Structure 1
Amino acid sequence: MLPPRIIRRLVLAPLIVVLAVGAVITLPIWLLVVTAASLRLPPPQRRGTRLVWFAVAWLTLETMMLGACLGLWVANGFGARLNRDEYQERHYELIRWFLAKIYEAAVRIFRLSVEVDEPTPTSDELSRRLTRPVVVLSRHAGPGDSFLLIHHLLTGYNRRPRIVMKAALQFDPSLDVVINRLPNAFVPNRAAESGILDEIRRLSSGMDADDALVIFPEGGNFTPRRRWRAILRLEQKGLAAEAARARKLEYLMAPRPNGALAAIEACPQADVVFVAHTGLDDLVTFGDIWHRLPVSAEIKAKWWRVRADDVPRDREEQIRWLFDHWDEIDAWIAENRPAPAPTT
């Protein structure tokens, strides 16, 4: 159960600072421990030291972000003017800085590379990049895919992302503080679908030209077990056609259309962007990361943009249209997915 906000501010936020300081002080000890733990691995694949360095970098940046959030809170009258555009923009700048630094650390520590394939935009599409809001529908698989997506939206497109997230993510203090100050939504794990759809409509209907609502239609990270559960759920609802199409998807779970369609309905002037990515799909648990994290990590992504005028408005057509794009994403992943890393 999530503790009250005042407890999270007074306990979890200071705890991150303590952990960051402790991690820096005890860094040599942790490096020795993880080096000993990974001695049975070949030298190029000893991942422990890289994971420790990244954890220290993350904790340090979290501490700096919390300090910046405190400074912004004081500067805007102890929270009295947080809803003003100028202060919201400063928080977006703070998120942009944080994710840029995390990305730089990942590139340096994990030899991460990200290749994004986008169609060459026409002059009309270039003008729409900052004159229309967008609804982003992305697959969900692998560690950090949401962070990379938000980073790309902020830096590559100068968009202000809006996200519906699980309430448990508020255990991360800096995420808890900064995201709750912006138009986003945290929903409990067992929240009623109607409540989630209400939040999606609220965020989507209030979008301006430079906003982007991010939705993961699968509802969670892909795993083979979750894929079969999604198929069974469709069959139990009597949706035989959708279940048959879901069975043909090899790397995706069947999309849950209600959230995506609610966003499109609430903001009909928005273009829709579909996002596929692959590269770290097999890294789901910490054990996967420990045993399969490659020496260098390469992520490939592809974005499709659909003009608002080309989005179908009939619900049945929209569902078929959504599954059609999911078929296209699945085929793209099959062509671009790297060979599975060997277990060591």
Structure 2
Amino acid sequence: MPLPPRWLRRVLLAPAVVLLAVVVVTTLPVWALVAAALSPLVPGRLRPLRLLWIGCVYLVWDAAALLALFGLWVGAGFGLRVRSPGFQRAHYVLAGWFLRVLFWQARWTLRLRIDVAGADPDTAQPGRPELVVCRHAGPGDSFILIHALVNWFRREPRIVLKESLQWDPAIDVLLNRLPNRFIAPASDEDRGAALLRQIGHLASGLDDDDAFVIFPEGGNFTPKRRLRAIARLRALGLERMALRAERLRHVLAPQPGGLLAALDAAPEAGVVFVAHTGLDRMLTVSDVWRELPMDKRIVMRFWSVPPEEIPADRQERIDWLFDWWARIDEWIAANRDGVAADPAA
């Protein structure tokens, strides 16, 4: 379904979420009784109740964020000063607070635990902008990464995201007020070139606490997407890259164009590669349902590359990205079942 225009999303979708949150909260006892009655009939411990609770929490979280964002819009002179440095910082603080609330509930309801291994963005490149390059797999992995950057490492992310994420009104409003780019797959060469220019523009002018975030795979890992990515490389005549992609078992072949544009636009930035495990096996709605309550240990692994170690030649950079993706693939294979690998790996 095509994304509605922005004015329609503001006039209809955002108020509808707030109204729905009010209705759900006022009728919550009824829903809770129904979920409690169903719980003995469903495998797992209180699975319907947990699912109801996390759904209600997310809906109320979204509605509360929209109300807070509306307050900031009014305070910014009905949007006139919303892009001033003070109000931009206020939006990052608000995002951090709401992400802390969301993950507090996730830890309590779903029993999630997040551990970090490797050099984190603060100790790796203190006082220097970073390009954060992350694999994409499992529900909510981008939330986890942004939560870590904002709340643990005090970074201000600039994110390249899928256009479809704007269906969520709070994400839509918040991230469109900050320096981010929602993108759709390019249908032709001209649109692809324009998209790379937008990514390069977003990566320009990073300061010492900024983190440019990109997911080079372009979507969550699934076995079918892996095969499609390999076929796409072959269709483009990139047989050597297709062969390398075939050796990657747990990640999609990276699409280098966006990262290359960012590297050209921010030569002073270091690069931080990020892998994670713990959500890999939840590829479909039925997978998520089966895993509830999750009881998951999510491990995030950071590798830092200073700017002087980044290749200068375009083809060398592409090979370098594929080399790192192979390393990430190996790390996932060693850690996806909860077995910790050598920290130096």
TM range (shorter): over 0.9
SS at match of 2:207: coil
Superimposed CA distance per residue, residues 263-300 of structure 1 (whole angstroms, 9 cap, x where no aligned partner): 11110110000000010112122222112335412111
| 2:49 equivalent to 1:49 | yes
C-alpha separation between the residues in 2 aligned to 1:13 and 1:300? 34
Q: Residue 248 of structure 2 contacts residue 329 of structure 2 at CA under 8 Å; is this kept in 1?
A: yes
C-alpha separation between the residues in 2 aligned to 1:39 and 1:286? 21
Q: Which residue of 2 aligns with 1:173?
A: 169
C-alpha separation between the residues in 1 aligned to 2:165 and 2:224? 23
Q: CA deviation at 1:31?
A: 2.9
Q: Which residue of 1 aligns with 2:12?
A: 11
Q: Which residue of 2 aligns with 1:27?
A: 28
Superimposed CA distance per residue, residues 206-243 of structure 1 (whole angstroms, 9 cap, x where no aligned partner): 21111111111111000000001111111122212211
C-alpha separation between the residues in 1 aligned to 2:38 and 2:158? 41
Deviates more, 1:190-199 or 1:137-146: 190-199
Q: CA deviation at 1:39?
A: 3.8
Q: Residue 135 of structure 2 contacts residue 215 of structure 2 at CA under 8 Å; is this kept in 1?
A: yes
C-alpha separation between the residues in 1 aligned to 2:125 and 2:186? 37
Deviates more, 1:288-297 or 1:75-84: 288-297
Q: Residue 44 of structure 2 contacts residue 292 of structure 2 at CA under 8 Å; is this kept in 1?
A: no
C-alpha separation between the residues in 2 aligned to 1:168 and 1:308? 33
SS at match of 1:276: strand
| Identical positions, percent | 49
Q: List runs of 5+ in structure 1 lacking aligned partners.
A: 340-344
Deviates more, 1:76-85 or 1:163-172: 163-172
Deviates more, 1:247-256 or 1:54-63: 54-63
Deviates more, 1:256-265 or 1:282-291: 282-291
Superimposed CA distance per residue, residues 152-194 of structure 1 (whole angstroms, 9 cap, x where no aligned partner): 0001211110112222211211111111111111123456322
Q: Which residue of 1 aligns with 2:223?
A: 224
Q: Residue 186 of structure 2 contacts residue 195 of structure 2 at CA under 8 Å; is this kept in 1?
A: no
TM-score, normalised by the number of residues in structure 2: 0.92
Superimposed CA distance per residue, residues 308-337 of structure 1 (whole angstroms, 9 cap, x where no aligned partner): 111111111111111111111111111111
Superimposed CA distance per residue, residues 38-85 of structure 1 (whole angstroms, 9 cap, x where no aligned partner): 5443343x4221111111111112121111111111111111111210
Q: Residue 48 of structure 1 contacts residue 290 of structure 1 at CA under 8 Å; is this kept in 2?
A: no
Q: Residue 109 of structure 2 contacts residue 293 of structure 2 at CA under 8 Å; is this kept in 1?
A: no
C-alpha separation between the residues in 1 aligned to 2:152 and 2:202? 22
Please list every run of at least 4 consecutive aligned residues from structure 1 whose deviation after the TM superposition is greater than 4 angstroms.
35-38
Q: Which residue of 1 aligns with 2:255?
A: 256
Q: List runs of 5+ in structure 2 lacking aligned partners.
A: 339-345
Cα RMSD (Å)? 1.8
SS at match of 2:69: helix
Q: CA deviation at 1:255?
A: 0.6
Q: 1:138 aligns with which of 134, 140, 146?
A: 134
Give the count of matched residue pairs. 334
C-alpha separation between the residues in 1 aligned to 2:16 and 2:303? 42
Q: Which residue of 2 aligns with 1:213?
A: 212
SS at match of 1:65: helix
